[in-house]
Amino acid sequence: MNKKVFIGSGLTLIVLSLIWLVITPVLYPGVQAGTASAAHPGFRVPGFTLETPQGELITLSDFTGQPVLVFFWTSWCSVCKATMPGLQSAYQDYAPDGFALLAVNATSQDALAAAESYFQSQGYTFTLLLDRDGSVARDYQMHAVPTSILIDRNGIVTDVVIGSGMSEGFLRARLDGILVTGEGE
């Protein structure tokens, strides 16, 4: 390769790189370093305030000092429905120790009546919250249901599980670690 072609190729690459740096923020304005609030293991969980079907406002910070499972679900999700009985069983056993389970219905992707009907028909005793506009799902960068986020007593995410991985056995093992030994805190 001769010297002129090599220099010309290098300059072209530099010019294209500079153009890309200039137009990227214009093409992708929502993607900026340091602005994402998704839940990641080892980091403080993003806060939220959501409403129950009865109109009560629940804020995640209300559970400071307690381990919390935030479980994103919909009534049409068969994996969600298969996971919830095991979560209820663990919730009943660990609630006396301060464990809170917040079932966040992705209401923007679901029918409110179907979600409420299903939840009530199953007799679940944990808290049902409604993400009516999808803002919490967006903040948590939730891309699939179910998505389970386990938070320790210090508000630090210990686990993010997408799909069926948040089984009753897994949850119990993680809660034993958090509540009994302080592991994950």
- Total-model pTM: 0.79
Q: What is the pLDDT of residue 45?
A: 86
Q: At what angle do helices 78-94 and 112-122 cross, to 10 degrees?
A: 50
d(CA 157, CA 146) in angstroms, rounded, equals 17
Contacts of residue 130, Cβ cutoff 8 Å, sequence gap at least 6: 50, 51, 52, 53, 104, 105, 107, 112, 115
List the pLDDT tens digit at each of the 185 positions of the chain.
687 877 877 778 787 777 766 766 665 554 444 444 678 899 988 899 999 999 999 999 999 999 999 999 999 999 999 999 999 999 999 999 999 999 999 999 999 999 999 999 999 999 999 999 999 999 888 889 999 999 999 999 999 999 998 999 999 999 999 987 666 65
Which residues are registered as beta bridge partners of 100? 68
d(CA 53, CA 70) in angstroms, rounded, equals 17
Q: Which two tokens stand for residue 145?
A: 């249901």
- Give the number of other Cβ atoms within 10 Å of residue 155's Cβ: 19
